[in-house]
Each structure stands twice: as C-alpha cells, then as structure tokens.
Amino acid sequence: MIKLSVEVASLTLRNPLMLASGVLDESYESMKKIWNSGAGAVITKSIGKTARAGYPNPVVVNEDGYLINAMGLPNPGIDDFINIIEKLNNEKIKVITSIFAENGDDFSYLAKKAEQYSTAIELNLSCPHAKGLGAEIGSNADNVYDIVKSVKSSVKIPVWAKLTPNIADVSEIGIAAEEGGADAVVAINTVRAMAIDIKIKKPVLSNRYGGMSGKAIKPVGIAAVYKLYESVKIPVIGVGGIESFEDVVEYMMAGACSVEIGTAIARFGVNLFNKILTELQIYMKENEYDSPREMVGVAHING
Amino acid sequence: MRRVTVIETVERENNNTITVRFRDDLCVMPGQFYMVWFPPINEIPLSVSYNGKLKGVTVKGIGKSTKKIVEGAVGDVISLDGPYGNYFKPYGNKILAIAGGVGIASIILAIESFHSMGLDITTIIGAKKYDELIFMERANISSDTFIVTTDDGSYGEKGFTVNIAEKLIAEKKFDSIITCGPEIMMKKIVDISLKSNIKVYASIERIMKCAIGICDSCVFGAYHICMDGPIFTGEQLKDIPDFGKWKHGFSGEKIKL
C-alpha cells in the first residue's frame, strides 16, 4: 500500500509537493486553486511589515529552460495579508507563510502575527535581488543564526530557513540555521542572474539583477540539497527546477524529504501537481517504495 | 520571445493618447495584447489596435509611466513580448460593440474583422467629452449602425453608452455583445446582457507584471488576466465577485474601483 504523506520534522503533509514561495501566491483564490490541484501545502509570497510595490516592469525574462525574475518582493504588508491566510486556514488549507525582514526582531514580529493561521513559517533569507534583505543578510552565517534563534523563541510553529545558492558553501548557512533552532532548511532560492538586450544595450530587468529559476537550475539545487543532507540533521526541503516526477525523485534521492514547485506551474499549469503525484505513485509501485521517505537520501553512500 | 522593433510612427489621437506603429510579423488576433517595453520607462500590457504588417498599440496617459510615454518620452525602439491572451470570436450574425473611452482600442480590430466577415455590427462609442473620442472614422466605416455618446453632450448623443445600449438591446435582437471600457460600465453592460440572455464578452484590465502566469498581480477571481483573459464571458464574470468592484494595486492590496 503506497502512502504519499510525508513528515517534515513535526509536520505531516498529505504529499511531498508544495507550492514554492513567489508563484501565484499573493491571493486567496490562487492559493486555494493550487491546494485544490493537489499540493501538500502552499507557501505564500514573501510578506513584510508594510506594503511594498516591487520593482517596475520588466520584471521577468522568460527563455527556454529558465526564467529570470526581479519582482522586488511586492506584498500588501502583514496586516492586510493576514486576512488571506486566515481565510485559507479556516478552510483547513495548509499555509506556510513566507516572511522577509531586515533583522531578527522584524522577522519575529512578522512570524508572531502570522502564527495563528500558519502551519509553519518560511524565512526568506535568500531573495537575490533586494537591498538589505534576503540573500544580503542570508549569506552571513551569524545573521542566519541570530534570525532563526529570534524567530524560534517567538513562535511555537515550525520555522524553516530558505537558503541562497549564491555563496561558496551552502552547508555553512545550513548549519547556522540548524544551530539557531530551525526545524528544516529549504534549498534553493533563485540563482543571481542578469540578461542584457544587445539591441537596447541595457539590462532587461528594471532592477538589472534578478533571480534565475526553472529547469536550468535543478542541478544547482540537487548539489545544495546533497551537501545539506550530509551537513545537517534537520530535514532538507528541495526546490529549484522541478518539472516532473523524475525531478522529485532525484531531489529525494539527494536528501530532500519534500519539495517545492514554482516556475513549472506557469509552464504546465496547476494540474502539474496531480500529474506528478500520479506518476510518482506509479514509479513508487514499480520500484517497491511504500513511502516517499524510503527514497530520501538513497544517493548517498551511507544513504 | 522578447524582440526589439523600430518605431515607425507615433500618431497623436488626442492630447492624452498616442498610437505607436511598428513592424511585427507575428499573427495577432483581435483583442490580444503585447507586453510593450518602452525603455527605459516601463513595460506595459497594450491591446493591439492596428493589425497587419504595420501593427499599432494605443496608449492613454493615466499613470506615471503612460503619461511619460504620451508626453513624448518614446525612444526609437520598443521591445515586444507576445501577442498574449485570448481573442474576440464572433458569436451570431448581429453583434453589438460597446466601447468607453480608450477601450475602443481593444475592440476596434474585432469590429473591423467582424464587419469584413459580413456580420451586422452596431457600435456605440462613448467618452466624457468630444476630445476623448478616438477611432471614430475607423469604427464608423466598419459599422452598420454607429452611435456616439458624450457625458457632456459635446458630440453625439448626451449621456452614457449604457443607456443607449439598454434601449437598443430591448429593440433589436442581438446575438452577442462585445465591450471594453471603464469596468463600472462593463459591469452594467454584462448585467443587462445576462438579464436579456445575450452572450457577452468583456475585455478586462488589471495591473500586469509578468504576463506569464507567475506573479499573481493580475488575479481576477479564480482567473488571471494574462493566462485566462483578457476577454471573459458573461458566464464567467457573473461568478467573479471582484468584477466591477475591486482591483489590486502594485503591492497586491485591494482597491475599490
């Protein structure tokens, strides 16, 4: 009997696929639609203390195999957004609230506000294109330790740290998050990137720099998850370039206990969740796995 | 695929609206839109208002960026992405087209295309005042019946498109209605159409950022304008509580229409 449910530390999810932060997750309607399409949880757009409009257009560069975005963390602010997660929570939808801030106190403030209606908190320590936020603070192990510790002392629900790949050694930050008390680490956020239009002779994105996602970054994510699995004892959640059940299995074999999917939804539609779950079950049956847990980390020598 | 094209002409429709013409070889259907980047100002979704070899988009100065564009800060080139979105298909033989203000730019190609198919087209164009009426010649040539309204009576009939439409719908038997304009106007048109049991198609506008179904900016009920629109049927619209009432701002906050 195949069971798709997974445990992420103390949490149980109905299946290992989650909606990644930043994609179709600023509105109640979109997140509900994705939950109804089969996701095991939905992770919200990253929310800050006050409303933020984000960067002017162009905000995306869409090419075969990858997408570069610099949305600029647009969000209506926690006090406004709380109404959305409350509605989702009332309908028993598992919502993980992604938050961003400049320091531990502000992260804790946001986490406390979201706690009542959230299944868990995901700390955005990794957005690669926002000044004084995301990867700018999340690239420093001491900062990460302090922020996670501060948030952990403020809320009782699980706290996940989403890590940046734009550093030499992701495990150093992963260990800092674990020591700060994180319940799980999430890898990876987007890879810092830029595109220049050679006719206009300028960067395409209004912010110039953006974050790359999509199929092309999967190997970067796999390497990060593999490294983290050997470096920390807390669960690792894989994200980056997942488009198929094969990608999910690959991330799990690298060490991910569950995964997040984002960019692929724009390419293949929300039915992707159901498609992957169906194919994953067939794969598990053929390979005699009863639970996704049995695949986690098998690519490691001591897996 | 994003591509750069040279601006061939910039035509002034009135003191607050311009049409930019350029070459693009891709096939565009009536009602579809491009994401048009006017470097270094901004990239905005614009309905295609001229088809064929020399295509065109029409911009009204409303926000900070569109004002800059209309005031002449247009360079030599633009970058295009698209065409995106669904398009107007003719339903039946007798079609009523209703446009408010610059909304005519989104339905003028449908009017011309339906007319060239030999369908019976009635067009109502409305604006606040005479200066704001655009594409009158084009709409007139392609319509069997053509009516203009202005709120202040400075041209055509004094009053609103909705009142004329309501009267015509009661008198004539239209097979379908297409509309684009202020959403409050479209809401009234859709309500009348649903009550009268006539198919209606409305082109909806929201803030659009990515245009590829990622960012959630143009969320519209359970739909997104970029992926599911911009044209919605009366059947869809009657189940969207935001229609005619709410839109989202740049940070996702709800704003009353």
Label residue A301 exposed, middle or buried (CB < 10 Å: 0-12, 13-18, 19+).
exposed
| pLDDT above 90 as % of chain B | 96
A60 domain-assigned: no
- Cross-strand bridge partners of residue B7: B22
- By the CB < 8 Å criterion, does B210 face chain A? yes
- By the CB < 8 Å criterion, does A171 face chain B? no
pLDDT at A197: 95
Contact A100, A106 (CB under 8 A): no
Contact between B251 and A74 using a beta-carbon 8 Å cutoff: yes
Contacts of A90 (CB under 8 A, 6+ apart): none
What residues in B contact A29, CB-CB < 8 Å?
A: 219, 221-222
Range of the domain at A36: 6-51+72-192+212-302
pLDDT at B45: 97
Contacts of A190 (CB under 8 A, 6+ apart): A69, A126, A127, A128, A210, A211, A212, A213, A217
For the segment B67-73, the average pLDDT, to the nearest whole number, is: 87
Contact between B42 and A61 using a beta-carbon 8 Å cutoff: no
A161 domain-assigned: yes
What residues in A contact B217, CB-CB < 8 Å?
A: 26, 74
Contacts by B67-72 with C-beta closer than 8 Å and gap 24+? B68/B41, B69/B18, B69/B38, B69/B41, B69/B42, B70/B16, B70/B17, B70/B18
Domains of chain B and any CATH numbers: 3-84 (2.40.30.10), 94-256 (3.40.50.80)
**Interatomic CA distance for residues B89 and A205, integer angstroms:** 35
- By the CB < 8 Å criterion, does B62 face chain A? no
A78 domain-assigned: yes
Instruction: Sort strands B94-100 and B120-127 into parallel, antiparallel or unpaired.
Output: parallel
Examine the pLDDT at A161 and tell me if it is beyond 90.
yes
A151 domain-assigned: yes
pLDDT digits (tens, 9 = 90+) for B191-211: 999 999 999 999 999 999 999
Interface test with B, best of A36, A50, A57 (most B CBs within 10 A): A57
- By the CB < 8 Å criterion, does B79 face chain A? yes
- By the CB < 8 Å criterion, does A26 face chain B? yes
- Say which of B43, B209, B219 has its CB closest to residue A30: B219
What residues in B contact A195, CB-CB < 8 Å?
A: none
Quote the radius of gyration of chain A (alpha carbons, Å).
18
For the segment B1-14, the average pLDDT, to the nearest whole number, is: 94
Examine the pLDDT at A303 and tell me if it is beyond 70.
no
What sign for the dihedral angle of Cα B60, B63, B65, B71? Answer: positive
- By the CB < 8 Å criterion, does A29 face chain B? yes
Examine the pLDDT at A255 and tell me if it is beyond 70.
yes
Examine the pLDDT at A236 and tell me if it is beyond 80.
yes
Contact between B252 and A197 using a beta-carbon 8 Å cutoff: no
Neighbours of A141 (CB within 10 A): 18
What sign for the dihedral angle of Cα A211, A214, A220, A225? Answer: positive
Six-digit token string for B80: 């295009």
Contact between A26 and B216 using a beta-carbon 8 Å cutoff: yes
- Which A residues in the span 61-80 are in contact with B, Cβ-Cβ below 8 Å? 61-62, 67, 69, 71, 74-77, 80
For the segment B122-138, the average pLDDT, to the nearest whole number, is: 96
Contact between B40 and A265 using a beta-carbon 8 Å cutoff: no
pLDDT at B75: 81
A294 domain-assigned: yes
Contact between B216 and A27 using a beta-carbon 8 Å cutoff: yes
A59 domain-assigned: no
pLDDT grade for A139, boundaries at 50, 70 and 90: very high
- Say which of A22, A74, A266 has its CB closest to residue B252: A74
pLDDT at A1: 82
A64 domain-assigned: no
Contact between B4 and A199 using a beta-carbon 8 Å cutoff: yes
- By the CB < 8 Å criterion, does B249 face chain A? yes
Contact between B209 and A57 using a beta-carbon 8 Å cutoff: yes
Number of domains in chain A: 1
Contact B42, B65 (CB under 8 A): yes
What residues in B contact A74, CB-CB < 8 Å?
A: 209, 215, 217, 250-252
Q: What is the mean pLDDT of chain A?
A: 96
| pLDDT above 70 as % of chain A | 99
With CA atoms as reference, the chain A residue closest to B42 would be A57
**Which CATH number covers residue A184?**
3.20.20.70
pLDDT digits (tens, 9 = 90+) for B43-57: 999 999 999 999 999
Contact between A57 and B251 using a beta-carbon 8 Å cutoff: no
Examine the pLDDT at B170 and tell me if it is beyond 70.
yes
Contact B207, B242 (CB under 8 A): no
- By the CB < 8 Å criterion, does B5 face chain A? no
A162 domain-assigned: yes
CA distance A88 to chain B (A): 14
- By the CB < 8 Å criterion, does A1 face chain B? no
Question: Model pTM?
Answer: 0.94
- By the CB < 8 Å criterion, does B76 face chain A? no
For the segment B29-33, the average pLDDT, to the nearest whole number, is: 98
